[in-house]
Amino acid sequence: MPCTTLLVGKKASYDGSTLMARNEDSPSGQFTAKKFIVVRPEDQPRHYQSVLSAFSLDLKEVPLRYTAMPNADPAQGFWGEAGVNEANVAMSETETITSNPRVLGADPLVKSGIGEEDMLALVLPYIHSAREGVERLGRLLEQFGTYEMNGIGFQDANEIWWMETIGGHHWMARRVPDDACVVMPNQQGIDMLDLEDALGRQEEAMCSADLAAFIAENHLDLGFDRDLEWDADEDADDPDLQFMARSPYGRKEHDLLDARAAFGSHDDADHTYITPRAWFMLRCLSPHYADWDRDVHFGPASDRLPWAICPEKKVTVEDVKYLLSSHYQGTPYDCYGRNPAAAGERVRPIGINRNNFLALTQIRPYLPADRAALEWIAEGSNVFNAFVPFYTQVNRTPAYLAETGKVPDSQQFYWANRLIGALADAHFAACASSIERYQKAVAARAHALIHQFDRTEAHGEDVTGMLERFNDSLAAMAKEETNNCLGKVLYEASNLMKNAFSRSDA
């Protein structure tokens, strides 16, 4: 899927949580209704059969309960996408990524392999840590292969790992630094890979066991064996040397591999569809890291943008929502701006018409295990929707999100937000205040309810049932605010219809 991902290490977040968030977007011209459900152990298939490929597998291990965001229409398969299991381990899959002909010629994709449709169901119910998630999926990729290039996130209370597939059977992964954020917009994004660590200690990196041989045999390493000579006084005004001094891109140092050059794509289309999204998120997270507007090495068309960056302030849930809803506010690329770019200069927004949902999993280390994990969900186009949190250690989810149908229905969270977006987009200025009030009201009320619920004791009540009741309250609040917003946006759009006429009957 054409998606966008943001990962936040525990020392970079506002409360010490690990944060993992991703938009699922449909292909151009398609809109995929989604629902939020719980898959209980008795509902997990013991024999898995893919719909889009011939892949099948007997699942003999005892599964854990987990949440998921599958398609409302199962005709194309499960597509679980994002969830948290009962061990408070989260998975987000997938970020469709790009590669190059050298990689795909050396290790062709496998038509009968696994893909985005399958990965959550095959991995999340069987892991107890983020690291285990990388290891399990790695084994599946090596054994069965994949028919597409993907990036996958795994998260627990202590760490986040980002994994990328390479060709049909190979893969690599890096641990997100605790004090950093990672931005991922549909590209092979890992920049530098420490092969010595990945094939040895595996403290910060992992990869398929034969990756070094695969690289050597197929001449994939494009870096030079050279040392960069840097004189702070003589070279201070040379922007190219400044950039090279700050980044190991294009050169080998110790056993660092320039993975992006080796495995990634370098197409002109990347500079309108992919790199601008990374550029905008990075410049928001760390405005003073670089001259984002004038330095070509850090501009929207740069292939050298860093995979991870330390933010200038701790990152909140609201920051994540803003970034993954953004349309290049404050830049010439804002499609809703006063002077939007001409058609030939437009770039792909992050908050796009075909966002299906945004899910943020937040694993909070300071709370008991039964309520440590929250899954924040927004559905429809992110520019116009609102973010609602739900506890994940439950056996069911609220009907408002769980019973999404194929037919539009304003009493379902997905469809109500899809309607709000379609109405408000054409009348952005007139509806902007209603959208802003809606988003802020839901956020404030959600935080208030979570503060209350986090401190509520069960007092003999079944904890799972209590959390389900809390989720019902959160869904009821979201439904109230969403219906209110839909009414206001419908009113504004009705007033601005082309057949409007100011004179009424006498």
Give Cα 66 distance to the centre of its chain.
Answer: 18
Q: Say if residue 167 is exposed, middle or buried (CB neighbours under 10 Å; 0-12, 13-18, 19+).
A: buried
pLDDT for position 236: 54
Q: How many CB atoms lie within 10 A of CB 452?
A: 11
Instruction: Report angle CA 7, 11, 12 to the nearest 5 degrees.
Output: 50
Name the DSSP class of 13: B
Name the DSSP class of 459: T
Which residue, among 20, 18, 66, 133, has the nearest Cα to 366 in the 3D structure? 18
> What is the DSSP secondary-structure string of 327-374?
--TTSTT-TTSSSPPPGGG----SS-TTEEEEEEEEE-TTS-GGGSEE
Which residue, among 310, 327, 317, has the nearest Cα to 381 in the 3D structure? 327
Name the DSSP class of 43: G
Question: What is the C-alpha R_g of the chain?
Answer: 23
Q: Give the strand pairing for 37-39 and 66-68.
A: antiparallel
Catalytic residues: 3
C-beta of residue 178 within 8 angstroms of C-beta of residue 126: no
Q: How many CB atoms lie within 10 A of CB 121?
A: 25
Q: How many CB atoms lie within 10 A of CB 237?
A: 7
Handedness of CA 11, 12, 17, 19 (dihedral sign): negative
C-beta of residue 381 within 8 angstroms of C-beta of residue 352: yes
- pTM of the full predicted structure? 0.94
Q: Report residue 409 as tokens.
A: 């229905």
Map out the domains of the chain as residue ranges. Answer: 4-383, 401-506
CATH, domain range 4-383? 3.60.60
Name the DSSP class of 62: P
Q: Which amino acid is at 393?
A: Q
Give me the count of residues in the chain: 506
Name the DSSP class of 85: B
Q: Report residue 140 as tokens.
A: 């599946």
CB within 8 Å of 369: residues ≥ 6 apart: 88, 393
Instruction: Determine the Cα–Cα distance for residues 386 and 218; give it in Å rounded to an integer.
Output: 47
C-beta of residue 427 within 8 angstroms of C-beta of residue 492: yes
Q: End-to-end alpha-carbon separation of the chain, Å?
A: 56
CB within 8 Å of 299: residues ≥ 6 apart: 279, 292, 293
Per-residue pLDDT of the chain (506 residues; tens, 9 = 90+): 579 999 999 999 999 999 999 999 999 999 999 999 999 999 999 999 999 999 999 999 999 999 999 999 999 999 999 999 999 999 999 999 989 999 999 999 999 999 999 999 999 999 999 999 999 999 999 999 999 999 999 999 999 999 999 999 999 999 999 999 999 999 899 999 999 999 999 999 999 999 999 999 999 999 886 554 545 555 556 555 454 444 443 444 456 999 999 999 988 999 999 999 999 999 999 999 999 999 999 999 999 999 999 999 999 999 999 999 999 999 999 999 987 766 557 899 999 999 999 999 999 999 999 999 999 999 999 999 999 999 999 999 999 999 999 999 999 999 999 999 999 999 999 999 999 999 999 999 999 999 999 999 988 789 999 999 999 999 999 999 999 999 999 999 999 999 999 888 76
Instruction: Determine the Cα–Cα distance for residues 433 and 486; give it in Å rounded to an integer.
Output: 13
